[in-house]
Structure 1
Amino acid sequence: MFAVLKTGGKQYKVQAGDVLRVEKLAANAGDKIQFNEILMVGGDTVTVGVPTVKGAGVVAEVIDQIKGEKTIHYVKRRRKHSSQRTKGHRQQLTLVRVTEVLASGAEKSGVAAATGTADARRAAHNAAAAAPAAEAAKPKRAKKAAEAAAE
């Protein structure tokens, strides 16, 4: 059985046992994650999603957080401007091993969904923004803040 999954803006055709290098995910080595954006599931019968297959999932285990190969960007201005600049970049990647392709019942598997680091940063930012409002509602802190303001 195989599946076509979408993560990090790319699509991958996977089956059990495959090792993938995907855009960095918010997970540690040894964690089990589940990809829920499945575009197609194949095997004896092929199911194509509109746009995704409902209830399908791919369970994977995070092997390691790695960096990709270095890409060099060289810029040189010609003629009167004698300036040049070299910039390098190494993309952060996550190495995962696909353990199981689920054609249905993925929502009941109990495995954490695979989220990218941008999603994790957004969630942490939203939680931090909601925390001060919750702290102000506590009576002891409000009392201490009132005493400090009075002094």
Structure 2
Amino acid sequence: MYAVIKTGGKQYRVAAGEKLKIEQIPAEVGAEITLDQILMLGEGEAVKIGAPLLAGASVKATVLTQGRHDKIRIFKMRRRKHYQKHQGHRQNYTEIRIDAIADAVASQIAA
């Protein structure tokens, strides 16, 4: 079974047992969180699509780490204008492990 979740303005296809890095959320390491913005659930050929969200569906996850991605270097230059600008950015992230996909709606998929 898999689900498409929405968090941090992005969409992710997840299944139980997967690890992924999402935009930072305020949660302690080891805490269990519930992601309730589920756009789609699927199992094999059976798919349930929300409009835009599925009511009653949720994904349980555990927070593994809070961290920062590698630095991205930004360099802007205008040739012959004596203009150079250096900038860097490190985005914060939360790494989570998907524990379970709630099957309140999954029973409707099989039917």
TM-score range, shorter-chain basis?
Answer: 0.7 to 0.9
Which is greater in Rg? 1
Whether the 8 Å contact between 1:72 and 1:88 is mirrored in structure 2 is yes
The 5-angstrom pairing of residues 33-44 of structure 1 reads 33-43=33-43
| Paired residue type of 1:101 | I
Whether the 8 Å contact between 1:74 and 1:85 is mirrored in structure 2 is yes
The number of residue pairs the alignment matches comes to 104
Deviations 1:34-61 (A, max 9, x none): 1100001111632110111110000000
| Paired residue type of 2:14 | V
Whether the 8 Å contact between 1:54 and 1:104 is mirrored in structure 2 is no
Where in structure 2 are there 5+ consecutive unaligned residues? Answer: 106-111
TM-score with structure 1 length normalisation?
Answer: 0.65
Equivalent in the alignment of 1:92: 92
Flag the structure with higher strand content: 2
CA distance, structure 2, for counterparts of residue 98 and residue 41 of structure 1: 14
Deviations 1:67-93 (A, max 9, x none): 1121111012322x3231210101000
Equivalent in the alignment of 1:28: 28
Runs of 4+ that moved beyond 3 A: none
CA distance, structure 2, for counterparts of residue 33 and residue 18 of structure 1: 15
Equivalent in the alignment of 2:48: 47
CA distance, structure 1, for counterparts of residue 54 and residue 102 of structure 2: 11
| Greater shift in the superposed pair: 13-22 or 96-105 | 96-105
Higher relative contact order (CA 8 A, sep 6+): 2
CA distance, structure 1, for counterparts of residue 48 and residue 83 of structure 2: 56
Flag the structure with higher helix content: 1
Deviations 1:9-44 (A, max 9, x none): 111111110001000001111010011000011116
TM-score with structure 2 length normalisation?
Answer: 0.87
| Paired residue type of 1:87 | Q
Equivalent in the alignment of 1:63: 64
Equivalent in the alignment of 1:141: none
Where in structure 1 are there 5+ consecutive unaligned residues? Answer: 106-151
